[in-house]
Structure 1
């Protein structure tokens, strides 16, 4: 089977971040071709050497439309019909252990669209940080891309692509499946936050980099507080470290990377989280009466 992995990325420095290089090397073990998508026109000599040594293709794209904008541009420039499988991956996660278990599952699962996790919010959909399109889904995805093209706002991307593409493919009779379940959760919150502890216990191989780098958007913090979410990255690093010899990444190199929250941000978040922790039971009690 001939497969193509399109890895969407965004970073501002000339050096490809360490956690991305780990991810790319692992993907190359499992997919025929891996194409690194970036808008960074001036990569460092070391980064260019890394891509060449790992036999990773480089494709420069415009920084438009977030990850789906990059994937759309790549679809326009590669011969998609030459592949039996196209995998859409982005750099929003840190891969900390091998993909072997997922790849074994993927090879035996018969779904047309596969991924690591699934969300039930709005409409059942595979979360787009890792989206596997098998043969039937490739042409339909290109058809959908051609119709909707690049969406500039994050809300439009979520509505049109994160949810809309999955809905479209299912309406065409295609089946979707996720590697890790959500322990029965079907609520409004994103499973990669709400179910993170459960996912780690079930052997998920990656984690959102925001969780480790504390690089949340301010607009996200209220929602995270409502789900009584723990923002302490050390708690998650401790759980990941239990993988021991199975780890493919140096966790020490992740500490202090990214846009960490300030002390004031953390205090404000703790207070907001405490408010919701107290308010939730009271609300449920009142609603019950």
Structure 2
């Protein structure tokens, strides 16, 4: 076999491995964190909800919040007296909603100290004392508590593959068979879609994200012992908030597999 033929053969054999390496390295974790650490700089310029939601248009933001709340709470059990783990909590926007709906205790895990500072300030303004902000990356969070509800929101798109696997590897330790696990996250339409340090005029910053497909999310959770029971796009096709053809915001319901 000639050297040229051998080289072509080796390239073909290693193409999948090379592609996987590139995908795993696509997101720069430091740049992702830097983006969120700077986001609270807009605290006095944007509404509280815009900081984590990334929707700056007040009209669209109002529609987005109302539509999402209606869907998310329709999928959740009655939260009265329940314990909730909010992974990727941002400034506590969902944690405060869970508190309003009667949750006994909300643990809000966020990797940006700047975002937590805003969340704690907002909690004091609202006289909320049962939201516990924890400074930790979601994939490194561990707890001996088993939560009634685990809410993963707008988080997975900012994790590279290694981080995502680590998060799911830990998830079973603080969930229980009857736990409700909701994933609210950006999803690639048809194929995985990646943004790598692309400047966003809307956000006035460089932005990175990985949008896995619905099938990839299902496979990821299944590998770690969780079954998908339901999934739907957050907004129907043709909705004004489906702004980009490559992605959709989607809601997933998972539970522990039997055994």
Which category describes the TM-score, using the shorter chain as reference length? 0.3 to 0.5
Larger relative helix fraction: 1
